[in-house]
Amino acid sequence: MAMQQQTERVIQYNNEFLEKAEQLKPTFRYKEVKPVDLVKVNENPNVIHGWEISREAGADILKSKEFGKGDEAVLDFKTHLVGRVTFDVNAVGSPPDAPAYIRLTFGEMPVEVGEDFSDYNGWLSRSWLQEEYIHVDTLPTHVELPRRYCFRFMKMEVLDTSRKYNVTISNVICRTETSANEKPELMVPEKDKLNRKLEQVSLLTLENCMQDVFEDGPKRDRRLWLGDLRLQAQANYGTFNNDDLVKRCLYLFAAAPDSQGKVAANLFIHPTLMPDDTYLFDYSLFFSTTLYDYAFAANEWETALNLWSTAFRQYEIAAERIDGNDLLMDDESWWSFIDWKDGLNKQAPSHGVFMYALQKGIALAEKVGTDQQTTYLRELYRQLKKAALSHLWSSEKKFFVSGSDKQVSIASQVWMILGGALDKNEAQKLLKRIENETDILGMNTPYMYHHYVEALFQTGLKEEAVKQLQYYWGGMLDHGADTFWELYNPEDLNFSPYGSHIINSYCHAWSCTPIYFLRKYLYN
């Protein structure tokens, strides 16, 4: 089939869906949290990012600590927070004859309050770095910072006062906000210490990403991304059980397709709903799989019926990318996500994603679709599976290959397995070969590691799945993670696709899934 021609983008808003999404807007839960310690941030080349913290005193010392020009303090809240910060500033000494000029820096990790942001050289906007410069004209005063922050550490620097007075900074409070329900009881026994820690940190990661929608990261990008939503929703079922938030997000995506019916990869929610101009092959298909997961988990079929036409349209659009050999056409653009991995060819893994999504779509069509739609999806799946085995499987390499260079990647093997290209026995053999293969393109994100672990569990390789789960997410814990990160490469601790690890998100939606694995496969 011919590829779709690019046309000027026109958004077709669905007011009925917008109204349903608005009705599902969540209520928030708030809590006031105070800092615990005053800490020093020290350079150490032997720890991740080269920075570590050491306790200096309890945070109560702020009550008696005076700050003059050039003085600073770093507060440690001892846990990851998402919320709004307030504090009091007072003058000490002569009457203040000039404003107090204060810089505030917020960090999820020590590096963010250690390194100077002026040295940042990444390609994402520096405006994502969490810092504020404020002038306090009248003293004493109560300061309420206008923005929401995502942090554990808060650095306060007095850039200037005057020669006549110092300041005190006290009553620092973060009022956290989340749309998550109260935390569920932990299911992992205390004796299983590592798995219990994985459970706790997963829950906090998910909780802090549950806001007006399921955000991908409360520090950056604060948006609703389809790939993240799918994994957050899976982790939500059986934990916070905020199924209405999943439903709200599905209606928001369905409310703003383009003129061809294509669902965007992500949405801006404020001030009004606006789909981003990024469209990704795999993410669009994940609308249907997220709808499938929701309908079966919540046993709620009205939403599935309402949104089925949007889901089915994603399959039709995806099929336009199929060539004469029933393979997805590859190109050099950013047409499919899969993973943040330089050099990764997306053809074979995206082909596997299509098959995976079709399996879910067939099950949905049998519930809410027509016989004609069900037959169409079954035939499409048959064609794609046949093409995968005929054209993408290398009998010489014993791996699936991708692109004109016949690249062998973990992503290709994993998505072909999840897409059902191989039976369970052959899939197990393939996954075991991955462990011993040195010349294979690896993974860089918890997003891709999630699917690798899922493939291990689904094929019955439980021991290997637990090993990978504990190695990868446990590695983040070893490096001091309070919440799980957007990016983690155990072999390159400074990895960032954005040019600087300081801009990375250290509480990220697609990393919250250890709780999903623990409850689905190990402690159910």
The first and second tokens of residue 350, run together, are 């995206």
DSSP 8-state secondary structure symbol assigned to residue 112: G
Could you report the per-residue pLDDT of 378-401, keeping only the tens digit for each?
999 999 999 999 999 999 999 999
Note the pLDDT of residue 6.
47
User: What average pLDDT does this structure show over 175-180?
Assistant: 98
Taking CA atoms, 327 is separated from 151, 169, 251, 319, 387, in Å, by 45, 63, 31, 10, 6
Helix axes 15-23, 243-254, angle to 10 degrees: 160
Asked if 335 contacts 329 with a C-beta cutoff of 8 angstroms, the reply is: no
User: What average pLDDT does this structure show over 224-230?
Assistant: 98
Asked if 181 contacts 245 with a C-beta cutoff of 8 angstroms, the reply is: no
Could you report the per-residue pLDDT of 476-510, keeping only the tens digit for each?
999 999 999 999 999 999 999 999 999 999 999 99
pLDDT higher than 50, residue 257:
yes
**Helical (H) or strand (E) element with 13:** none
The first and second tokens of residue 141, run together, are 């005063």
Termini Cα distance of the chain: 45
Note the pLDDT of residue 36.
98
Asked if 383 contacts 324 with a C-beta cutoff of 8 angstroms, the reply is: no
Instruction: Compute the mean pLDDT over every residue in the chain, rounded to the nearest whole number.
Output: 96
User: What average pLDDT does this structure show over 450-469?
Assistant: 98
**Helical (H) or strand (E) element with 158:** strand 149-160
Instruction: Band the pLDDT of 286: cuts 50, 70, 90.
Output: very high
User: What average pLDDT does this structure show over 111-115?
Assistant: 97
Instruction: Band the pLDDT of 4: cuts 50, 70, 90.
Output: very low
User: What average pLDDT does this structure show over 443-467?
Assistant: 98
Instruction: Give the lowest-confidence range in 4-13, 99-108, 442-451.
Output: 4-13
Instruction: Band the pLDDT of 224: cuts 50, 70, 90.
Output: very high
As a whole-number percent, the residues of the chain with pLDDT over 90 amount to 97
Alpha carbons 212 and 226: distance in angstroms, whole number: 15
The first and second tokens of residue 249, run together, are 């997000």
Query: What ranges do the domains of the chain cover?
Result: 29-178, 321-436
pLDDT higher than 80, residue 442:
yes
pLDDT higher than 70, residue 13:
yes
The correct CATH number of 29-178 out of 3.30.230.10, 3.40.50.10610, 2.60.120.260, 2.60.40.10 is: 2.60.120.260
pLDDT higher than 60, residue 7:
no
Could you report the per-residue pLDDT of 304-359, keeping only the tens digit for each?
999 999 999 999 999 999 999 999 999 999 999 999 999 999 999 999 999 999 99
Asked if 487 contacts 340 with a C-beta cutoff of 8 angstroms, the reply is: yes
Note the pLDDT of residue 256.
98
Beta-strand ranges (E) seen in 235-338 are: 266-268, 274-275
Q: 3-class SS at 285? A: helix
Could you report the per-residue pLDDT of 181-199, keeping only the tens digit for each?
999 999 999 999 999 999 9
Alpha carbons 76 and 154: distance in angstroms, whole number: 7
175: closest CA among 88, 81, 89? 81
Could you report the per-residue pLDDT of 42-74, keeping only the tens digit for each?
999 999 999 999 999 999 999 899 999 999 999
Asked if 449 contacts 467 with a C-beta cutoff of 8 angstroms, the reply is: no
The first and second tokens of residue 236, run together, are 């939500």
Per the listing, tokens 């021609």 go with 5
43: closest CA among 129, 152, 103, 116? 116
The first and second tokens of residue 244, run together, are 């209405």
521: closest CA among 453, 435, 474, 471? 453
The first and second tokens of residue 173, run together, are 């409070």
